[in-house]
Homo-oligomer: A and B are copies of this chain.
Amino acid sequence: MAKEYVVGVVGAHGVVGTQIISFLEKRNFPVSEFVPLDIAAMAGKELTFKGKSWVTKEAKEGAFKDLDIVLFAAGGAASAALAPVAAKEGALVVDNSSNFRMDPEVPLVVPEVNAQDLDWNKGIIANPNCSTTQMVVALKPLHDAANITRVVVSTYQAVSGGGGRAIAGMKEEFEELATKGSVSSPKVYKKQIMFNAIPHIDVFEEGGYTKEEYKMVNETKKMLGEGVKVTATCVRIPVWYGHSETINIQTEKKLTVEQARELLKKAPGLLVIDNPDEAEYPTPLESDDQDLTMIGRIREDFTIENGLNMWVVSNNIRKGAALNAVQIAETLVERNLV
């Protein structure tokens, strides 16, 4: 009989936590015992997993002792406080927050890209930022073939990246527009997001860049190597689910559009939708039901010798968060690390 695991999910009632639980069920993760956890305010609530009802326990010291694996998706503060506790109590932690991603002791992993980094984990594994994950899935096969030296990326990010509160806020703006014709005051961000585009995700840091932009720069380097230089502009747009990215790359070796398209078609986790003659390309609306990262608009960049442009779309809650976390757990099992 295959081994089964005691699996905890912290933030079981959140946008990402709900999806993690759904993926554990759909992908038939070998769960012997399921332990939903959440911050104190959410503990005691009921939820369903594999047709059975479960009561969410409070995530706190002592709650992780019997767990084999625990997936954290309860926000940065909960992860910072409790992920090290869980690891100390013997649970292998897959963390969705940004707290540990750049820690040299913590592997940052997208299974299609760098599964082997799981082998040197010391109890905590970090799940990358959503906008980085879909980009590295797309870059990896091209980088292996031609060595990417520079990336210029602009994002078109969905509000669900900000969790349930952000979704509720845009819904409120939408309803005010539908009933009153205008938005009295911004409900999610500093400015109204409905019918707008806001070049500001996460806090501003040095040099005028946002933390979200630095995540794309630094997390990509950690997974693909220091040689891959990234410059990013991250923008929020009025979309519920699905981040889109225009990615311009420069490679050491020449790749034709046809070569790039073939490499991307063969690579894991990707779906190439790229037929300009029939105006076929992915858009975020199609990511609602899609676990794969979609790529289209693959073109040669005529301004440099070895350049390509592409358009990458992925569901930020699925591959961008919950699915990747569950895939990390699956890969830990495959590699006998748990």
Q: Using a CB–CB distance below 8 Å, which chain A residues touch chain B?
A: 150-152, 154, 156, 174-175, 177-178, 190-192, 195-200, 204, 207-209, 217, 229-231, 233, 235, 237-240, 244, 246, 248, 257, 274, 276-277, 279, 281, 283-285, 296-304, 307, 309, 311
Contact = CB atoms under 8 A, between A and B. Distances in A.
Contacts of A299: 207-209
Contact of A285 (B195, B300, B307): B195
B244 A231 contact: no
Contacts of A198: 283
Contact of A208 (B190, B207, B239, B276): B276
Given A207-B299, A298-B208, A307-B231, A200 B237 contact: no
| Copies of this protein in the complex | 2
Contacts of A298: 208
Nearest to A230: B303
Contacts of A279: 190, 200, 204
Contacts of A208: 257, 274, 276, 297-299
Q: Is chain A's interface secondary structure helix, strand, loop, or mixed overall?
A: mixed
A240 B195 contact: yes
B229 A303 contact: yes
Given A199-B296, A231-B309, A246-B233, A283 B191 contact: yes
Given A152-B303, A196-B239, A199-B297, 16 more contacts: A151-B303, A191-B283, A191-B285, A192-B285, A197-B239, A197-B244, A197-B283, A200-B281, A204-B276, A207-B257, A207-B300, A208-B297, A208-B298, A229-B302, A231-B309, A238-B239
A281 B238 CA distance: 18
Contact of A304 (B150, B233, B300): B150
B196 A283 contact: yes
A232 to B, nearest CB: 8
A327 to B, nearest CB: 26
Lowest 5 CB-CB distances: which A-B pairs, in order?
Answer: A178-B178, A229-B303, A154-B154, A154-B246, A233-B246
A204 B277 CA distance: 7
A284 B297 CA distance: 25
Contacts of A246: 154, 199, 233, 235
A173 B277 CA distance: 26
A285 B199 contact: no
Contacts of A209: 299
- Identify the interface centre among A190, A195, A209: most chain B CB within 10 Å of its CB: A195
Contacts of A297: 199, 208, 233
A302 B195 contact: no
B231 A199 contact: no
22 contacts: A150-B304, A152-B301, A195-B239, A195-B240, A195-B285, A196-B239, A196-B284, A198-B283, A199-B244, A199-B296, A208-B257, A208-B276, A208-B298, A209-B299, A229-B302, A229-B303, A231-B248, A233-B246, A233-B297, A233-B311, A235-B244, A237-B238
